[in-house]
Structure 1
């Protein structure tokens, strides 16, 4: 199945449908089974000690999987998260943007399953790993 939305269309969709968080995320690249999304870290994303908070990393994984799903099914705002498991593996670099590398593992008629590796920009190894399942609204 080919892409139904490219990076520009996904970014425009975020601006239109999720203006409350659209300024935080930028889709940098999208292909049939992968997507890269950047979280532009600001003070609101930090926890005491100056590192990026866990809920912020969860949001990046969730938005990344959502956008990967939409890239394939088109702009369906009502696709929803049905499951998420996240492992926090390393402390993110202070005040550094995060990158979510999303892989689409399965796309069915009702569910989308994605894996997300989260990196502090310019650093290895990943700071977190998440697995997410999205429910796709009926056509």
Structure 2
């Protein structure tokens, strides 16, 4: 399956359409099965106790699934989250970036379902798992 958007195109899209997260989340790699994104963890992502906040992990998961969908259907800014579930499994390390690995489980005409595992960079065990469903606007998928 040919990708509609590669790493450079996805990162350019993020910078252009979502400047509020520019420089925070970057696509590391993408192919027909997996998209990996990195949260460049800094002070704004931490909470008391020296760990990455839940909202920062949720944002990483949400953006990662969104980008994985766009990598397949092209630039569709109005694809939106319709359902989300996240499990926080262990404390991420504050001094490490987070890596999110996304697999799209279903890509239909109007709905897409994806799963993300988030790990601290260099660690094997996931710190969080997220499942999301996205709504794709009519006529957007080409």
Alignment of 1:1-139 (within 5 A): 1-139=1-139
Q: Tell me the SS of whatever aligns to 2:14.
A: helix
CA distance in structure 2 between the aligned counterparts of 1:114 and 1:2, rounded to whole angstroms: 19
CA distance in structure 2 between the aligned counterparts of 1:27 and 1:73, rounded to whole angstroms: 16
Q: How big is the alpha-carbon RMSD for the aligned residues of Structure 1 and Structure 2?
A: 0.8
User: What is the TM-score normalised by the length of structure 1?
Assistant: 0.98
8 Å contact from structure 1 (residues 33, 105) kept in 2 = no
Q: Tell me the SS of whatever aligns to 2:69.
A: helix
Aligned residue-pair number: 139
User: What is the TM-score normalised by the length of structure 2?
Assistant: 0.96
8 Å contact from structure 2 (residues 5, 72) kept in 1 = yes
CA distance in structure 2 between the aligned counterparts of 1:108 and 1:53, rounded to whole angstroms: 32
Q: Tell me the SS of whatever aligns to 1:41.
A: coil
Moved over 6 A (4+): none
Gaps of 5+ in 1: none
8 Å contact from structure 2 (residues 102, 117) kept in 1 = yes
